[in-house]
Amino acid sequence: MDRRRFGRLGAAVAAFGLLGLGSRRAGASALGPVDPWIVYYRAEERPTAFLDYKLIVLDADRHPPVAPLTGSGRTVLGYISLGEVEEGRAHYKEVEAEGLLLMRNEIWQESRMVDLRDPRWRSRVLDKLVPAILAKGFGGVFLDTLDNAAHLERLDAARYRGMTEAAAALVLALRARFPAMRIMLNRAFEILPSVERAIDIALGEAIFAAYDFAREDYGLIRADLNRGYVEALKAAKARRPDLAVCTLDYWDPANPEGIARIYRVQRAHGFAPYVATVALDRIVPEPKT
């Protein structure tokens, strides 16, 4: 990370008064165990299918009943995409009309990236989108696609200047507005050192095994990339010992031996793993091997 950019992000952290926090952030009790955990983005499964999981991430719009899942040490989070918006979301047309949408996601063509620097997007997230998720009974939010910010700045540093800083500031603003809410952050490794005290759970998605859309098959990612991701997550855990660290990898459910290997590798790092299909539309149990 560019040292000057890290300095700006550090200033954003200081502005929210988070630099003086101890290992546990203010405003909420300690998070309980998160292993085993699961992410599921459909509504068909019955709540009883999730009762053995400690951490449950569901789509905030399409999901099984939330109320039966709360309590008994379980944490239930609602998915929200902050770096892009899908065409099927209720707020898509309004955001499009405001001129906040940028290029389309290269893989998920029905989704367009958002200008995180625009105060109207920040207000929508803080005043409407997140409160609506909490009103459904979720105990917090799973923040996705914030890694788009650094990606855009790498594509065009001049045009997208300040995008990464805005991503970090949005996470900090969420913590300031909702001090007791659970926050899980997906990837966004560029801002993790600046926001790790403001979140409860860091997620490394597809850091060991992923789906190759060009080959239309599952496979392992490059060893050097995996090593960098693992180091970033372990460094965050070292700085913030009570930070929960999860991983989400993708593999063919017809290959239980491969899935079992991924669980072993990630648990050896001290992470809480889940292995799923890339569509995240079914429960894939951990193999009993």
- Read off the tokens for 234: 């372990």
* Among 193, 143, 184, 139, residue whose Cα is nearest residue 9: 193
pLDDT per position as a tens digit, 140-176? 999 999 999 999 999 999 999 999 999 999 999 999 9
Q: Does domain 3-203 have CATH number 3.20.20.70?
A: yes
CA 39 vs CA 8, 198, 203, 244, 282: distances in Å: 33, 22, 11, 16, 9
Q: What angle do CA 65, 284, 235 make, to 5 degrees?
A: 95
pLDDT per position as a tens digit, 6-37? 333 433 333 434 433 444 455 567 788 999 99
CA 99 vs CA 102, 158, 217: distances in Å: 8, 19, 36
pLDDT per position as a tens digit, 226-273? 999 999 999 999 999 999 999 999 999 999 999 999 999 999 999 999
Amino acid, single-letter form, for residue 71: G
Q: Give the start-to-end residue ranges of the domains of the chain.
A: 3-203
Quick check: helix, strand or coil at residue 59?
strand
Is pTM beyond 0.85? Reply is: yes
